[in-house]
A and B are shown apart, each in its own frame.
Chain A
């Protein structure tokens, strides 16, 4: 059973923050900043993608909320310009970011004795994402002062 005390929760938050910023800057060569406070992704038209971890009766979820404009921008850095209007290409961009950060989190958790299985990243629709309860960790990231991405970490026991 996963049990997170304050110090460990802090270490997970720091890991997610470092992993997100380094993944975005390494892959796309653009800086993304952590927002102070409870920033919320502004657009009503977001991409939701999550990594899910399972250990016995415990499930942890790392849910990413990407502003559509951010995903289009990142996709346009890697692919030809007309690809940014393809939902499949944009979803691949989101999924790879989630995959990398989730794997780094899995490594961090395993080092601390939590042996978790990580599944493939999966896209969610707005309704599915809205069903999630209060996260253990909420973080927001900004691009040029606009909140462009939210990352929530959920922990649930059956």
Chain B
């Protein structure tokens, strides 16, 4: 499948797990970033090449720029405001999950998770992906 996906996690084991699970689901067009700064650079580069990411899998706690600040920057940028962002984080406090969803995360998954749950989240997000002109708001999956 050609869906372009960016994995953003400072931990290489999580990047490997997510990449492998996406691979078993048939997604092979995957890029990886180690923090928010790296991810923003890759987003801008992909946009400049007219080959944007459709889904971002985003960790919360990372050095340099954490997932929450990356999320706010993305949503403040017209170019990325409709890119689906699935936060996948060990941070499981309800108030922080709500904060992330209010800041524009499309959905949220708490680590550790079963592969079936991850697959279901990705499927729901893909169903919710709509062309930017069809909606002024980010859908929650």
Contact = CB atoms under 8 A, between A and B. Distances in A.
Contacts of B63: 120
Nearest to A90: B13
Contact of A110 (B13, B93, B114): B93
A96 B14 contact: yes
Interface of B: 11-14, 16-17, 20, 61, 63, 89-93, 111-114
23 contacts: A26-B112, A26-B113, A26-B114, A78-B20, A79-B13, A88-B12, A92-B13, A95-B11, A95-B13, A96-B111, A99-B11, A99-B90, A99-B111, A102-B90, A103-B90, A103-B92, A104-B92, A106-B93, A107-B93, A110-B93, A118-B61, A120-B61, A120-B63
A102 B93 CA distance: 12
B130 to A, nearest CB: 32
B contact face: mostly helix, strand, loop, or mixed:
loop
Contacts, number: 49
Contacts of A95: 11, 13
B65 to A, nearest CB: 14
Contacts of B14: 96
Interface in A92-137: 92-93, 95-96, 99-100, 102-104, 106-107, 110, 118, 120
B12 A89 contact: yes
Interface residues on A, range: 20 to 34
A27 B17 contact: yes
B112 A99 contact: no
A93 B11 CA distance: 8
A20 to B, nearest CB: 11
A88 B91 CA distance: 24
A103 B91 contact: yes
B95 to A, nearest CB: 9
B11 A96 contact: yes
Contacts of B90: 99-100, 102-104
A100 B111 CA distance: 7
A99 B61 contact: yes
